[in-house]
Chains A and B, each alone.
Chain A
């Protein structure tokens, strides 16, 4: 975590003011916006693995699709059952 973000967390400031790093924003378990990704590693309608700077994020569910992607953000839509951090060294 960067110094700035540590300060944000310690002082209890709004998390939306943080810069860089990885941010997740999920709405109603139907879509999740991941900021700070490094690309897609695996894609199936049941599981999408997104690469991060350190580790991966695995989103599992049914009918998952990648709705939008750009250099920094990825929007995943579908019926999301779980989102977990993966420490796999191969990523």
Chain B
């Protein structure tokens, strides 16, 4: 930076400018204002400029001084600040040379303490101006069981160690143990055979019985040469489910005899008390809740027991046949395995001497293996 001094001379005329320029002083940034003229000269012309201005009795003022020389003079007055800045820089430099911590990452199976203790055999912080032998440190860490690779890096005041652990030993399952064939769960007709291991013993359209082998746990390798393997796959087939029930001409009903018994159970504040049993062998119960009072939560439960007796009455199944079919179908639906496709449904009604035999049939396609 070239040192410059800015002057301001009183008097709004060009005379000072002409006078100084004629005496070999280079003026720049000349600005004429109402009360004077300001200009900038080099620091080497400072003394001459002052001399000439004083010689010609011109009132002047130094507005500013710029440059390294003037800046240095200002700084000399702030020795404390400079000393503090210098000490800070020295301390920061010395701090950067120290090693204070060791950061270990990437380990999950090998404990951190094991790695740290191994590192501390070579580098034990805090250290000052220590030179780290990276290769020796890496070799030291690799000697730990379970670590396959390591990288050591010094960053700032820390040593960052990243380890890569060895893969855990896999537990290999020996599939030769327990070769079991795949057998059928139902009596069915095979529709689809999907084999993933072993030899299929059935084909599509073949009828199979429950427990029959579907896929064998071996493979044929030439004549009379079998290789054992795990049987796998899925076999689908059509299965017929049936449910039957005989409905008689009479039906048991309970008819009221006309006798009844009333029991009132008072339940203040919702206490639970043991209910009194009615004095009849067969009965129907009617329960009523009576609320007593609005302020106090008092309620009573009234039980009315009607005596009944079993009576056989004439029963016409055909009148309720739809209901009976629905009821029996619902019971059969609960036996259908999950994922099965319902193909067909039908029923058969056979008249007997003293009743009716209702049979419901379901044809489904399901996994039979």
Chain A residues within 8 Å of B, Cβ to Cβ: 39-44, 65-71, 74
Q: A69 with B31: in contact, given A39-B14, A41-B14, A43-B14 (CB under 8 Å)?
A: no
A15 CB, nearest partner CB in chain B, Å: 24
Chain B residues within an 8 Å CB radius of A65: 30-31
Chain A, Cβ-Cβ closest to B25: A70
Contact (Cβ within 8 A) B24 A40: no
Minimal Cβ-Cβ distance residue in B for A45: B32
- Bound-state Cα–Cα, A67 to B17, Å: 12
**A70 touching B17 in the complex, CB below 8 Å, given contacts A43-B32, A65-B30, A65-B31:** no
Contact partner, B18, options A39, A44, A67, A68, Cβ 8 Å:
A39
Please give, as numbers and ranges, the residues of chain B lying within 8 Å of A66 by CB-CB distance.
17, 30
Smallest distance from the beta carbon of B66 to chain A beta carbons, Å? 17
Distance between Cα atoms of A19 and B172 in the complex (Å): 103
B side interface size, CB within 8 A: 15
Report chain B residues within 8 Å CB of A69.
17, 21, 26-28, 30
Known A39-B14, A40-B14, A43-B14; contact A68-B22, beta-carbon cutoff 8 A: no
In the bound assembly, the distance between CA atoms of A39 and B30 in angstroms comes to: 13
Q: Is the interface of A mostly helix, strand, loop or mixed?
A: strand
Chain B residue at minimal CB-CB distance from A75: B28
**Cβ–Cβ contact A40 & B26, under 8 A:** no
Decide if A71 touches B14 in the complex (CB within 8 Å): no
B-side residues, CB < 8 A to A, are 14, 17-18, 21-32
- Please give the distance in Å from B33's CB to the nearest CB on chain A: 11
Q: Which residues of B have CB within 8 Å of A70?
A: 21, 24-27
Q: Which of A39, A41, A44 has the most C-beta atoms of chain B within 10 angstroms of its own C-beta?
A: A39
Name B24's contact: one of A44, A68, A71 (CB within 8 Å): A71
Q: What are 28 A-to-B residue pairs whose CB atoms are below 8 Å?
A: A39-B17, A39-B18, A39-B21, A40-B17, A41-B14, A42-B14, A43-B14, A43-B32, A65-B30, A65-B31, A66-B17, A66-B30, A67-B28, A67-B29, A67-B30, A68-B26, A68-B27, A68-B28, A68-B29, A69-B17, A69-B27, A69-B30, A70-B24, A70-B25, A71-B21, A71-B22, A71-B24, A74-B21
Inter-chain CA distance A77–B31, complex, in Å, is 12
Q: Please indicate the chain A residues that have their CB under 8 angstroms from the CB of B24 in the complex.
A: 70-71
Give the 3 A-B residue pairs with the shortest CB-CB distance, closest first: A39-B18, A40-B14, A66-B30
CB distance from B158 to the nearest CB of A (A): 57
Q: How far is the CA of A71 from the CA of B17 in the complex (A)?
A: 10
Q: Which residues on B sit within 8 Å (CB–CB) of A40?
A: 14, 17-18
The residue on A at minimum CB distance from B26 is A70
Q: How far is the CB of B35 from chain A (nearest CB, A)?
A: 15
User: What residue in chain B is nearest A68 (Cβ atoms)?
Assistant: B28
Closest A residue to B19 by CB, please name it: A39
